Amino acid sequence: MRGSVATEARSLRSVTGGTRLYLVMADPVGTLGSPALYNSLFEVTGIDAVMLPWAVAADDLDAAWGGLQAVKNLGGMVISMPHKVKMLRHLQVLEPRARLAGAVNVACRMGSSWGGGMFDGVGVIHALRAQGWRGEGTSALLIGCGGAGRAIAYAVAQEGIGRLALADLDALKAKQLAQEVRDACGKLDCQPVAQAEGPYDLIVNASPPAKPHAATDLVGDRPFAPNTFVVDIASGRIPSALIERGRLAGCAIVTSREAILGQVRPIWDFFGLPALTPAQLAAGIQRYEG
């Protein structure tokens, strides 16, 4: 359905010599929804721009960037795995969340320089608040300490939670991030864990889609309490095992859809595009989802 919507949007308008180009740079790109989503928004707003998927392997980032930065009508990029951390070395300006997380998920021109921002954490917090979550004094388990996980760790820490457990199949990643969060957030109890030591008020899976069993392996078989909030930003269109467990327990759920939609407006603003009205955002999402 989403593919047909994107095709329809492209058929309704022409790409001209003045069309602004935006990219989603990742590997793989086949399951990414960002091109269809932003093209739908360009359509409803009448902005002469197009977003395309750009499949770049991890080892080819430097070579690809060498050419991309010379493209004069390239307005910006959404950055996804595996480039969120490595892209930092190519950017001259970082917004505060990107600097804190040490990762970016968006880049754009800033005069003669390129700047980066990180909005993965913003999207998750926005989606959680819409479900009624309030962080003050609560506990959280974050699974996956890569680029997106780093951003989410700082985002939930800044919401005033009392305890944050970090887990990753690479134990060193969890240990390093826990130390960095403690250094940045003072009194927060932040520790790496090898297995879930709940109960937790919030469980977030930010592990890569390429590791679909990481969350269930680290959470174990402990039943979820019905007042737990369960987030899976790697869930895709098919509900993950973590999401299904949460639903069966009656938990409030945040999927990758809600987390992605929660960061559309800040990314749009970061690109410097004309202000997006609530009606335009709603219409673009409706077109995108068909």
pLDDT digits 0-9 by tens, 265-284 = 999 999 999 999 999 999 99
Is-same-fold flag (2-119+263-289; 121-259)?
Answer: yes
* Stretch 213-235: mean pLDDT: 81
Q: Is the pLDDT of residue 182 over 80?
A: yes
**Model confidence at 186, in pLDDT bands (50, 70, 90)?**
confident
**Model confidence at 31, in pLDDT bands (50, 70, 90)?**
confident
CATH architecture for the domain at 2-119+263-289? 3-Layer(aba) Sandwich (3.40)
Handedness of CA 43, 45, 50, 53 (dihedral sign): negative
Of 209, 193, 194, the residue nearest 255 (C-alpha): 209
Residue 230 CA to residue 258 CA, distance in Å, equals 12
Structure-block tokens of residue 46: 């009448």
Most confident listed range (2-11, 129-138, 214-223, 236-245): 129-138
Residue ranges of domains in the chain: 2-119+263-289, 121-259
- What was the pLDDT predicted at 12? 44
Q: Is the pLDDT of residue 3 over 70?
A: no
- What was the pLDDT predicted at 112? 87
- What was the pLDDT predicted at 212? 60
- What was the pLDDT predicted at 210? 62
Residue 40 CA to residue 137 CA, distance in Å, equals 39
Residue 40 CA to residue 9 CA, distance in Å, equals 7
How, if at all, do strands 74-79 and 106-110 pair? antiparallel
C-beta of residue 204 within 8 angstroms of C-beta of residue 152: yes
- What was the pLDDT predicted at 189? 94
Alpha-carbon dihedral 91, 94, 98, 104, rounded to 10 degrees: -30
pTM of the model: 0.88
Residues noted as catalytic: 84
Domain 121-259 has CATH 3.40.50.720: yes
